[in-house]
Amino acid sequence: MTEALLRAGATTVLVDVDQQPLDEARAKYHKEGLDAHSFACDLTNSTRLDALVDYVESTHGRADVLVNCTGVTTQHDSHDYPDELWSATLSLNLEAPFQLSKRIARLMIAQGGGSMIHITSINAEQRFAFNPAYQASKGGLRSLSKSLANDLGPHGIRSNTVGPGYFETSMHAGRLNDPERVKARAARTMLGRIGQPAELAGIVVLLASDAAAYITGQEIYVDGGWHGGSSVYNVSCAVQLTYDNVRLPCPDVSHK
Amino acid sequence: MLASHPASRIRHLISVSAAPTSARRFVPSLIQDTILRCTLSNSHAEEINMSYLEQLYSLDGKVAVITGAAGGLAAP
């Protein structure tokens, strides 16, 4: 996603917690003539968030695009999910995007608009085992995006979510070492495979650009069809149950 | 009739579309023949369309901030 923003022409500020990987990434992009900058920041620290926004404003003068792409996931049984994991997950996955969005929104309001893109997950919509904090945080981020879209729309600021399915990323590195698990998850998609990180590039550039000038408050899933297939199934079940409850014959909705 | 119609004063009107029927749709019927005589090669049409799309999707001049940009979690 970072590379996509850069190659589409954006001056891009890379944010991460450690300086060294930021320096390496920035150097790599600079070699290709791309306009990359970096700022090391613990997003759960409000003082550092203020410093980040001050840096963006003083160095670049504006912020047209914000991509909230941080996330942590830790599985554990729900009935004894550790409080510290719950707090850490919600803090980074939900609290931090809100706090940064709030601060960046002030810049966007002053300049007359902008685009916020929040990276959620198929977990924002669907149940997954033993991951209550991650699921709650991504579902919360999904709702937060709609709230921001509603409140900031009059200022010309758009807010949308991108919900990835399973991708070959560092977050899923452990799971990707299990071929059977990968095969099972690929089989859940309509395309029959997990995603490659580059396949998130197009949607991010679209939402960041003027091509999406009238798109806001939306949730777009980039999951090879995982989420879409289940949604159709759920709608059909809901129709069936509704009619069963009032003892009416269920109509044939298969053609719809 | 075409020569006497005001529309005939139009020297260049380029209607670009992949489908000829779409390209002609908004052209007044009286000048259609004139327009259809305007030669527009495929390569020229592609150039015009690409330029438009490149501009539409371009982030030139925009400043973007992206968190988690170096593969980390952006928090300890």
Mean pLDDT (whole number) for A135-144: 97
Mean pLDDT (whole number) for B16-23: 51
Bridge partners (DSSP) listed for residue B67: A15
Q: Which of A97, A123, A74 minimizes the C-alpha distance to A221?
A: A123
Max mean pLDDT among A63-72, A238-247, B46-55 falls in A63-72
**Pick from A118-122, A158-162, A239-243: least confident:** A239-243
Question: Which residue in chain B is spatially nearest to A108 when comparing CA positions?
Answer: B63
- For the annotated catalytic residues of A, the residue numbers are 121, 134, 138
Tell me which of A199 and B39 has the higher pLDDT. Answer: A199
Distance CA A67, CA A200 (A): 12
Length of chain A: 256
Distance (Å) of CA A31 to CA A14, A26, A222: 16, 9, 30
Please, what is the average pLDDT of chain A?
88
Question: Which residues 110-129 of A are in CB contact (within 8 Å) with B?
Answer: 119
Distance CA A31, CA A24 (A): 11
Distance CA A241, CA A248 (A): 10
A171 falls in which pLDDT band (50, 70, 90)?
low
Q: Which two tokens stand for residue A237?
A: 């079940």
Picking from A16, A21, A209, the nearest residue to B57 by CB comes out as A209
Picking from A56, A70, A88, the nearest residue to B67 by CB comes out as A70
* CATH number given to A2-224: 3.40.50.720
* Distance from chain centroid for Cα A34: 24
Read off the pLDDT of residues A23-48 as tens digits, 9 standing for 90 and up. Answer: 999 999 999 999 999 999 999 999 99
**Interchain contact, A25 vs B70, CB within 8 Å:** yes
Q: Is residue A190 a contact partner of residue A221, using CB atoms and an 8 Å limit?
A: no
Distance CA B12, CA A236 (A): 55
What is the pLDDT, as a whole number, of residue A112? 97
- Which string of DSSP letters, residue by residue, matches B27-40? S-GGGHHHHHHS--
The answer to whether residue B26 scores a pLDDT higher than 50 is: no
Number of H helices, E strands in chain B: 3, 1
Collect all residues of chain B within an 8 Å Cβ-Cβ radius of residue A72.
73, 75
Mean pLDDT (whole number) for A146-166: 97
The answer to whether residue A254 scores a pLDDT higher than 50 is: no
